[in-house]
Structure 1
């Protein structure tokens, strides 16, 4: 066979060298399907996001290469994504997204039953996706991320490739463009879910922000190949995310109020109730923050950690704080006692109990 004859003529040393050739030496090429007509709109939209490396020096290219090697590229893989010609096949069909409609956004605001700013209607102007459009968007998004991951694996910081860096950035930007089309088509679903969790202590804006973040994570983790509609999966994710937000907010409020009580700050039963108004709550929290900021660095850390305030999600022991600060357990106890005395003194100088009473 010709192939076998050719292999016999290759010296053993050269054969080993050929086998050891690193993938990063493979020249980068822009696949033809990246510039296909089906991606014309998407390419136009992401052109401003994609960096031009034509005038970049080697140091800049090396730095960009290292950043891409550290970045996580999340996607749902598929065994066919590595098939030759898969790119042309994925983008062979016509997506045919419907244009945005202002009336859809206005209708969403009216149905919400909440007095919302008119600008939020723009978030809900994208029509719902047809089942086949949904599948195409998820397939294309994950295929683009898969291709970006493949080319990223070929990066070499010692021999940076301008063409490969530009290709990776465009592939990721195109994948995010398809992700955004899925997100905007499902924002009305988020509106319908989070409005059920709105109460005096949890505003619609905060819940909506968390809901959108949850929706974006759901898009990244959804496996379109299982045959389910995305809305079924997204509903559970957003609902669970909203519930967790409400619970965490309630726990934070209880921690702050408990901390005020431990500092011997008098708060009436009415003000401790779950129905405490946002005005009173922010007043208490703001004054609490002012007092904590008057402590020194170690005292502030100890009080926050001991009462599980701010970013601390659990109560820290004296020993754990001693290990962290590099001091003895007894010294931590002394600092805590000193900080509490300071806070009690400051509480006596700040008129916390006399908060305004809300109108019925």
Structure 2
């Protein structure tokens, strides 16, 4: 697979080693499928070879071949990790709180990324970045309220935070975090629609920041087609989104 240059300028203020992640080209859907298929094939061949070995007297040639397969699988996995590390940085920045340690959040997110690569099923045709985004944010939803509660024990002062119990603070953060997560995941899975479908869903449901939902007629006028045509395309797009939500086990209100 020929790599396509799809670099993004690093956000300002990042340390050099994090900013350097943005020089690594993003993978296309086709590239993702190629490398996940390759990694899984290498792992499968390694398992096959390992099971065929005579444990009492394994041959050196077979052991060398097994080691080569394992090394190649690890190389592909590391390549997938490097190609997606900037995703962790981006999500960590969006989930920062006044007391959070950014580097700890990046480290925590990296662990979620590693697990996501092991569990991702490329045969469903979905983008890995969508799956990884959901996995990373689910981890933050669990870990951040716990960390806030722990750090509250060492606070001093008369901040409003003391008006709530640790359980209430955790619940309040979790509710706000879930809303932000759902919006981010929805915007992420919208990338799997074509441009017209995406525009219609975004405008119909007011998903852009500061925008309001529009009627079929308003969206039709915007795109120069009839409202009935908008209804048809919206219905088709929603069916796609529901399938993605089911395939990736995403709990998104309105897509049940």
Q: What is the TM-score when the length of structure 2 is the normalising length?
A: 0.56
Q: Alignment RMSD, CA only?
A: 2.5
Higher relative contact order (CA 8 A, sep 6+): 1
More helix by share: 2
In 1: Cα distance, 2:92 partner to 2:78 partner: 20
Change in 2 beyond 3 A, CA 1:149/1:250: same
Change in 2 beyond 3 A, CA 1:268/1:129: closer
Deviation at 1:198, TM superposition (A): 1.3
Matches within 5 A, 1:59-98: 95-98=1-4
1:250 paired residue among 128, 148, 153: 148
Matches within 5 A, 1:1-360: 95-98=1-4, 104=8, 107-110=9-12, 115-253=13-151, 257=154, 270=158, 273=161
Report how many aligned residue pairs link the two structures. 162
In 1: Cα distance, 2:32 partner to 2:106 partner: 23
Deviation at 1:238, TM superposition (A): 1.0
Change in 2 beyond 3 A, CA 1:130/1:99: closer
In 1: Cα distance, 2:59 partner to 2:150 partner: 49
Change in 2 beyond 3 A, CA 1:191/1:155: same
Deviation at 1:148, TM superposition (A): 0.7
Deviation at 1:99, TM superposition (A): 6.7
Q: Give ranges in structure 2 of 5+ residues lacking alignment.
A: 163-256
In 2: Cα distance, 1:268 partner to 1:207 partner: 24
Secondary structure (helix, strand or coil) at the match of 1:108 reads coil
Secondary structure (helix, strand or coil) at the match of 1:157 reads coil
Task: Please tell me whether the aligned partners of residues 137 and 178 of structure 1 are also in contact (alpha carbons under 8 angstroms).
Answer: yes
Task: Please tell me whether the aligned partners of residues 207 and 245 of structure 1 are also in contact (alpha carbons under 8 angstroms).
Answer: no
